[in-house]
């Protein structure tokens, strides 16, 4: 059993104040997606009770973070049957999973990350990320370190990476912080198969796209120039051969690009058009499929990967404003 760190106090974030502090078309995570008080989404906010069907532990599970109703829903994968809901979040956003099948969920406005065992309705750890707005996360496949990208601080300072290590004796460590002056907002991060961490973001609100690598064993970022224009930072994930980087597309349809790297340059080697999508933020690639929570459409779709094209499945039950996804495999349970 992992030892939980002291939970951070949930922070009350003023959407109006955050928006007033920024300009441009791409809002910062945690503030931007204003939910009208009269909308159907608003009536479902803060559903606090958590539940999970007993048989969920034996199934492969798709977890979806929903910033619209402050829940995380769990579905059998690939069938898409709703088997659980996790409540009590304050803007749940990105997700990642470790080799044991434990799912990590960034609780953006509460400045922490919650760790749930596969198929469990209760977390085994609350990892403090004091003073930050955690957004994306990724687990190092080599040593199990947890990287969390903080979009920006609660005092509106530039974002960073919080890197956590784990020991059976002490649980999750206090984070080591890595920053890059080229970024103001850090959106998503992802490890490749060699323990190199890649992160995307923006120079500022409405600013330019930025991409960088934190090489394994290094203490500083290498900024990378991509030969593909990206409008709005999306998820970052190793797909088994290349680093996949999403472009949310600002409501014009999302795309995933695959890159190879040489030094400080990234070359696009393929693309996956997510047809019929409006705003896919943190996707999840699983073999020959990619799942995309589509905030713009208020549903969850999946596509063939890397071919893309028209979606093959659709989930609407339990979701209002889906943002992040991960898949936890049942056979990988047990540390």
Per-residue confidence (pLDDT) for residue 273, from 0 to 100: 97
Band of pLDDT at residue 8, cut at 50, 70 and 90: very low
pLDDT at 102 over 90: yes
Per-residue confidence (pLDDT) for residue 331, from 0 to 100: 78
Q: Using CB atoms within 10 A of its CB, is residue 95 exposed (0-12), middle (13-18) or buried (19+)?
A: buried
- When divided into structural domains, the chain yields a total of 1
CA-CA distances (angstroms) from residue 122 to 118, 215, 313?
A: 10, 34, 29
Residue at 29 is within a domain: yes
The pLDDT of 42-65, averaged and rounded, is 80
CATH code: domain of residue 76 = 2.120.10.30
The pLDDT of 276-296, averaged and rounded, is 97
210, 203 Cβ separation under 8 angstroms: yes
pLDDT at 42 over 60: no
Residue at 6 is within a domain: no
Residue at 197 is within a domain: yes
Residue at 10 is within a domain: no
Residue at 172 is within a domain: yes
Residue at 185 is within a domain: yes
Residue at 70 is within a domain: yes
Phi-psi region of 250 (alpha: psi -120 to 50; beta: other; left: phi over 0): left
Host domain of residue 265:
15-332
Residue at 7 is within a domain: no
Global confidence as pTM: 0.87
């Amino acid at each position: 059993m992992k030892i939980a760190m002291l939970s951070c106090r949930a922070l009350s974030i003023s959407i109006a104040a955050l928006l007033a502090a920024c300009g441009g078309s791409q809002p910062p995570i945690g503030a931007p997606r204003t939910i009208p008080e009269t909308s159907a989404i608003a009536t479902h906010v803060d559903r606090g009770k958590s539940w999970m069907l007993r048989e969920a532990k034996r199934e492969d599970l798709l977890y979806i973070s929903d910033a619209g109703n402050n829940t995380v829903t769990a579905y059998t994968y690939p069938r898409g049957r709703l088997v659980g809901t996790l409540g009590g979040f304050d803007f749940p956003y990105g997700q990642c999973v470790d080799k044991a099948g434990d799912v990590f969920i960034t609780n953006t406005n509460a400045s922490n990350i919650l760790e749930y065992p596969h198929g469990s309705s209760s977390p085994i750890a609350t990892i403090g990320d004091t003073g930050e707005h955690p957004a994306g996360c990724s687990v190092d496949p080599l040593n199990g370190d947890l990287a969390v990208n903080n979009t920006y601080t609660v005092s509106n300072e530039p974002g960073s990476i919080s890197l956590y290590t784990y020991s059976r004796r002490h649980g999750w460590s206090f984070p080591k912080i890595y920053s890059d002056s080229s970024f103001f907002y850090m959106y998503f991060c992802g490890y490749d198969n060699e323990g190199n961490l890649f992160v995307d973001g923006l120079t500022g609100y409405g600013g330019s796209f930025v991409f960088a690598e934190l090489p394994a064993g290094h203490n500083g970022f290498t900024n990378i120039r991509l030969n593909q224009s990206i409008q709005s930072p999306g998820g970052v994930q190793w797909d088994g051969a290349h680093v996949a980087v999403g472009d949310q597309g600002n409501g014009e349809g999302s795309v995933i690009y695959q890159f190879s790297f040489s030094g400080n340059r990234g070359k696009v080697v393929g693309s996956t058009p997510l047809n019929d999508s409006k705003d896919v933020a943190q996707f999840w690639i699983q073999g020959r499929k990619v799942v995309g929570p589509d905030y713009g459409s208020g549903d969850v779709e999946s596509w063939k990967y890397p071919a893309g094209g028209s979606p093959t499945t659709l989930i609407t039950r339990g979701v209002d404003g889906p943002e992040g996804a991960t898949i936890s495999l049942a056979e990988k349970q047990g540390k």
